[in-house]
A and B are shown apart, each in its own frame.
Chain A
C-alpha cells in the first residue's frame, strides 16, 4: 500500500471559541507547540494550522544545513534539532504555517506527527476538528472473505445487511453472534449464531461470555446485532444489568425506530411525530406524541468501556468504532448504536436507505460520537447543519407534519445536540 500515508486531518473550520486543547497537549510533549489555533470570532473563523507533511516540502530545500528530511516510509517531515541553526528560513519557505520558530531556544520546530504514535492533539481535541486518518482502515477489511451468506430475506433496500456484513468483516470469525426474532440477518452468516428471545439477549450473552472466560477462551467475542425494541424496551433490563456488571460483551443496537418485523409498531426510540401502526395520524393524534428515548447516553451513564453511535452512511467511521469496540469488549461492555433506516417502515423509497442515514447526520438528528472510558468526543462534525425538515421530507412517516410540529422536532434535535456538545467539552463522565 505504498503511496498512502496516515494523515492528521483538520475536519472543519470551526473550533469552539477559546479552546486550545491541541496546543496544550502538543506543548506537553515537545515543550513548544507545533500546532496553532487561529481564532477570529468576528470573521466566524476558528481553526488550527499545522504541518501538512508536504510531498515536496519547501522547508526541506531551503535548510542551509540539510537538517530537514522527509521519511520515505511514513511521509513525516522532521527537523534534526542538533543540525538546526535557527536561521528561520524554513518558516519563510513554508506557506502553510507548519514551522514554528521558538525565539527562546533559537530553533525551528515542526510537527513530527508524534513520531508515528497516535497524535496527542487528536486525542485531546474534544470536537474532532482534528482526526487521525489512517488511509488503510477500511480498505483491508474488504479484502477478507465475506462471512455473510449470499441471498437475503430482508426487504429491498434494507441497510441492515450492509451493517452486518461490515461488522463481520471487522470482527472476524472468532465471534459468537446473538440474535432475536426480528429482521437481523445474522442467521445467514457463516459464524456461530445463538438465537435468544428479545427479553433475555444480554443475559444470554453474559452466560456465554462468562463460560468462555472460564474455559480460557477470552479471545472469542460475544456480540449481538439486534433491534431497538429488544434494546430500549423489552430487553432493556437485562442489558442495563449486564452493563452495570461490566460484562465482556459487544452490544450492537440497530435502530430503525420501531418494531418493524411485526408490523411497524412504535418503540420507545420512535421519534416525536413519526407515524407507525400504533402512533397513527388522525384528527386528534399526529403520529408519536412524545420524543424518542436516546439509548446511547443511557448506556454512557452505565460507565462502560465504550459507547458509540454509527451509521451505514459513514462506513469508515463505523469500521473504526467496531475495531475499538472489539478491543473494549475484551475488558468490559461495549455498545454501538447503529442508525439503520427502514425504507419499508419509514415509508421511503427503497434506494434511499444510505441517503437517509447521511441526512440524519447532516441535520444533527443523529450525531456521530464515541466515548472511550467515559470521555465523549465527536467523530464527525457538521459545519452547517441542515434543518430537520430536510430529513423529514425524505420519508412518508413524517409527511403529515406541519411547520409547528417540525419546529418541535427541531427543538428536540437542538437540545440533544447541545447536551452531547456539553459532554464532549467537559471532563470524562
Chain B
C-alpha cells in the first residue's frame, strides 16, 4: 500500500491518541501534528493543579520532542487552522501556510463561551482555558496581598470549581457566581450541595441562582452587579461559563457542523478522509446512539484512537460516549458516570446526603446499571464504568451495590473477567 500522509490539527488528547494509533498500525505513513499554540502539548485539565502549585510548569507537558521523534511524527507549533478545502485535500493556516493531506483529523478542541454582558470584554475579563490564561492570571495577581485579593469566578462547572480550589489552596479567597447551582451537568442537587458545603467550609463563597447583569471597574477593582440586585467586588474576574467546539474555520468548507463537527461511528465527517475527534466532535452516545458533544478527556482519547485506526485503514467503530467525570476536592472524591438523572423508565436508588457527608446514587434501566454518582465514598469509578459499558445484569444485586459499592462492583467485574 502506498505511503499515506496524515495531518492532525490539534495536539490535545484526541490528536495525540490518534497519532499513537496511526503509528502503531502503520510504520511508514507520514504524520504531521499541528498546534495553534507556541508550546509543547499540554492538557487544560492540568491547569488548576499548576495554579495550586501541585506540579511545576516543566512537568505539565504531555509529550516532548523525544516523544514525537520516537513516533516519527513532525510537530509544528504556532499555526492556526483557518480553512479546510476537502476537494483539494488541503488545509490552510494563518499567515499563508498550506498543508496537503491524504487524511485529516480535526482535533481543535473547544474555546471558552463568552457571555454577552454589559461591560464584559474579552481580554479584560479572563478565561481559564489555556496556559496563556493561567500565566495571565498569575501576572495579574502578582504583588496583590493574598488573603485580601478576591477572585470572582463566573460559572459553576468543573473548570470553575477546579480554579476555585486552586486559588483557595494558594491562599486567595474565591467567590463563585453560578446561575443555577454548581456542577449541574454532572451532579444532582443533593450531590452538588455536598460539594458546595465542603467548598464553603474551606473559605469559598458560593453565590448561586444569580446571573451577572453588568460589570464595571472602580479603580483597580471589578464591580459585579447581579440579577438579584446584589453587588460584588473583586480584584480579578474570570469567566468559566463553559466551552464550545472550535469550528469557526469550517465555514464554507462543506463539512457538516451542528454545534460541533458531526461524525459517524468511524469518527469520519461527511467528507471523505476527513475525521474529527475530541471536544470538537459531535458523536454518537453510548446509550441511545444519539448525537451530541462530550467534551471530556477520556472521550477525546477514545475518539482519537478510533479516528486514528480508520485513518490508517483499519476499520473501527466507536461504541459511543458516556458522560462522566471525577472531581477531587479537598481530600474528597466525587464521581459521576453515565445517565445519572434517572429519566423515564429508570429506577433510582440513593443513600446518604448532606447531613451524612457522603452520597450514593445508582440509576438502573432494564436490570442494567446506566449511571452512578458517588461523593466521598470508597469506590473505584473505573469499575463502575466497566459495569455500565459491559451492560452487566445487576437486578439481583442492585441493593448490594448501593450498600457496598466498592467491594460489590469489584466482585462483579472480577467474576465477569474470569468467567
Residues 209-240 of chain A, each 1 if its beta carbon lies under 8 Å from chain B, else 0 = 00000000000000000000000000000000
Known contacts A43-B411, A64-B43, A66-B62; A82 and B55 CB within 8 A of each other: yes
Q: Do B55 and A83 touch (CB < 8 A)?
A: yes
Residues of B within 8 A of A83 (CB): 55, 59
Q: Looking at the assembled complex, report how far the CB atom of A119 sits from the nearest CB atom of chain B, in whole angstroms.
A: 19
At the interface with chain B, which of A91-99, A129-137, A183-191? A91-99
Residues of A within 8 A of B20 (CB): 61
Q: Looking at the assembled complex, report how far the CB atom of B359 sits from the nearest CB atom of chain A, in whole angstroms.
A: 16
Instruction: Judge if B333 is at the interface, Cβ distance under 8 Å.
Output: yes
Interface residues of B in 391-418 (CB under 8 A from A): 404, 407-408, 410-411, 413-415, 417-418
Instruction: Judge if B73 is at the interface, Cβ distance under 8 Å.
Output: no
CA distance A203 to B297 in the complex (A): 71
Residues 305-343 of chain B, each 1 if its beta carbon lies under 8 Å from chain A, else 0 = 100000000000000000011101001110101000000
Residues of B within 8 A of A58 (CB): 301
Q: Do A85 and B49 touch (CB < 8 A)?
A: yes
CA distance A41 to B113 in the complex (A): 52
Q: Do A92 and B59 touch (CB < 8 A)?
A: no
CA distance A94 to B301 in the complex (A): 13
Q: Do B411 and A45 touch (CB < 8 A)?
A: yes
Instruction: Judge if B13 is at the interface, Cβ distance under 8 Å.
Output: yes
CA distance A103 to B329 in the complex (A): 9
Q: Looking at the assembled complex, report how far the CB atom of B12 sits from the nearest CB atom of chain A, in whole angstroms.
A: 10
Residues of B within 8 A of A13 (CB): 414, 418
Q: Do A87 and B415 touch (CB < 8 A)?
A: no
Instruction: Judge if B380 is at the interface, Cβ distance under 8 Å.
Output: yes
Contact of B326 among A39, A63, A92 (CB under 8 A): A92
Q: Do A99 and B59 touch (CB < 8 A)?
A: no
CA distance A93 to B301 in the complex (A): 10
Q: Do A104 and B413 touch (CB < 8 A)?
A: no
Known contacts A103-B333, A106-B54; A40 and B382 CB within 8 A of each other: no
Instruction: Judge if B386 is at the interface, Cβ distance under 8 Å.
Output: yes
Smallest Cβ-Cβ distance to B334: which chain A residue: A88
Q: Do B45 and A64 touch (CB < 8 A)?
A: yes
Q: Do B59 and A82 touch (CB < 8 A)?
A: yes
Interface residues of B in 30-71 (CB under 8 A from A): 42-46, 49-50, 54-55, 59-63, 67
Residues of B within 8 A of A36 (CB): 410
Chain B interface main SS type: helix
Known contacts A47-B414, A66-B62, A106-B54; A86 and B13 CB within 8 A of each other: no
Residues 94-122 of chain A, each 1 if its beta carbon lies under 8 Å from chain B, else 0 = 11110101011010000000000000000
Q: Do B297 and A89 touch (CB < 8 A)?
A: yes
Q: Do B305 and A103 touch (CB < 8 A)?
A: no
Smallest Cβ-Cβ distance to A43: which chain B residue: B411
CA distance A184 to B43 in the complex (A): 68
Residues of A within 8 A of B59 (CB): 65, 67, 82-83
Q: Do A95 and B411 touch (CB < 8 A)?
A: no
Q: Looking at the assembled complex, report how far the CB atom of B58 sits from the nearest CB atom of chain A, in whole angstroms.
A: 10
Interface residues of A in 244-265 (CB under 8 A from B): none
Q: Looking at the assembled complex, report how far the CB atom of A241 sits from the nearest CB atom of chain B, in whole angstroms.
A: 48
Chain A interface main SS type: loop
Q: Do A95 and B55 touch (CB < 8 A)?
A: no
Q: Do A106 and B331 touch (CB < 8 A)?
A: yes
Residues of B within 8 A of A104 (CB): 331
Instruction: Judge if B92 is at the interface, Cβ distance under 8 Å.
Output: no
Q: Do B331 and A64 touch (CB < 8 A)?
A: no
Q: Do B413 and A87 touch (CB < 8 A)?
A: no
Interface residues of A in 368-404 (CB under 8 A from B): none
CA distance A103 to B407 in the complex (A): 18
CA distance A319 to B301 in the complex (A): 44
Instruction: Judge if B86 is at the interface, Cβ distance under 8 Å.
Output: no
Instruction: Judge if A49 is at the interface, Cβ distance under 8 Å.
Output: yes
Known contacts A66-B61, A95-B386; A87 and B380 CB within 8 A of each other: no
CA distance A85 to B333 in the complex (A): 14
Instruction: Judge if B383 is at the interface, Cβ distance under 8 Å.
Output: yes
Residues 54-68 of chain A, each 1 if its beta carbon lies under 8 Å from chain B, else 0 = 000010011111110
Residues of B within 8 A of A99 (CB): 380, 382
Q: Do B46 and A92 touch (CB < 8 A)?
A: no
Residues of B within 8 A of A89 (CB): 45, 297-298, 326
Residues of A within 8 A of B67 (CB): 66
Interface size on A, residues (CB 8 A): 37
CA distance A39 to B385 in the complex (A): 21
CA distance A84 to B50 in the complex (A): 11
Which residue, B20, B380, B386, has most C-beta atoms of chain A within 10 A?
B380
Interface residues of B in 270-307 (CB under 8 A from A): 297-298, 301, 305
Known contacts A66-B61, A85-B46, A106-B331; A95 and B298 CB within 8 A of each other: no
Instruction: Judge if B103 is at the interface, Cβ distance under 8 Å.
Output: no
Residues of B within 8 A of A67 (CB): 59
Q: Looking at the assembled complex, report how far the CB atom of A308 sits from the nearest CB atom of chain B, in whole angstroms.
A: 28
Q: Looking at the assembled complex, report how far the CB atom of A129 sits from the nearest CB atom of chain B, in whole angstroms.
A: 12
Q: Looking at the assembled complex, report how far the CB atom of B372 sits from the nearest CB atom of chain A, in whole angstroms.
A: 12
Instruction: Judge if A281 is at the interface, Cβ distance under 8 Å.
Output: no
Q: Do A96 and B328 touch (CB < 8 A)?
A: no
CA distance A86 to B54 in the complex (A): 9
Interface residues of B in 4-18 (CB under 8 A from A): 13, 17
CA distance A234 to B274 in the complex (A): 84
Q: Looking at the assembled complex, report how far the CB atom of A278 sits from the nearest CB atom of chain B, in whole angstroms.
A: 48
Q: Looking at the assembled complex, report how far the CB atom of B177 sits from the nearest CB atom of chain A, in whole angstroms.
A: 24
Smallest Cβ-Cβ distance to B41: which chain A residue: A66
Q: Do B407 and A40 touch (CB < 8 A)?
A: yes
Interface residues of A in 268-300 (CB under 8 A from B): none
Known contacts A43-B411, A45-B415, A106-B54; A92 and B382 CB within 8 A of each other: yes
Instruction: Judge if A38 is at the interface, Cβ distance under 8 Å.
Output: yes
Q: Do B382 and A87 touch (CB < 8 A)?
A: no
Q: Looking at the assembled complex, report how far the CB atom of B327 sits from the nearest CB atom of chain A, in whole angstroms.
A: 8
Which residue, B46, B324, B404, has most C-beta atoms of chain A within 10 A?
B46
Q: Do B298 and A92 touch (CB < 8 A)?
A: yes
Which residue, A61, A101, A103, has most C-beta atoms of chain B within 10 A?
A61
Q: Do B301 and A61 touch (CB < 8 A)?
A: yes
Q: Looking at the assembled complex, report how far the CB atom of A65 sits from the nearest CB atom of chain B, in whole angstroms.
A: 5
- Identify 25 residue pairs between A and B in the complex whose beta-carbon atoms are under 8 Å apart, listed by A's number: A39-B407, A40-B408, A49-B414, A58-B301, A61-B301, A63-B62, A64-B43, A64-B62, A64-B297, A66-B61, A85-B45, A86-B328, A88-B381, A89-B45, A91-B326, A92-B326, A96-B382, A96-B383, A96-B386, A96-B417, A97-B380, A97-B383, A97-B413, A101-B333, A103-B328
Report, nearest first, the 9 A-B pairs whose CB atoms are least far apart.
Answer: A64-B43, A85-B49, A95-B386, A64-B45, A66-B62, A88-B326, A61-B301, A94-B382, A64-B46
Task: Name A's B-contacting residues (CB within 8 A).
Answer: 13, 36, 38-40, 43, 45, 47, 49, 58, 61-67, 82-89, 91-97, 99, 101, 103-104, 106
Beyond known contacts A64-B45, A66-B67, A104-B331: 15 more, CB 8 A cutoff: A38-B411, A45-B414, A49-B410, A61-B17, A61-B305, A65-B60, A86-B54, A89-B326, A92-B325, A94-B382, A96-B413, A96-B417, A97-B380, A97-B382, A103-B331
Task: Name B's A-contacting residues (CB within 8 A).
Answer: 13, 17, 20, 42-46, 49-50, 54-55, 59-63, 67, 297-298, 301, 305, 324-326, 328, 331-333, 335, 337, 380-383, 385-386, 389, 404, 407-408, 410-411, 413-415, 417-418
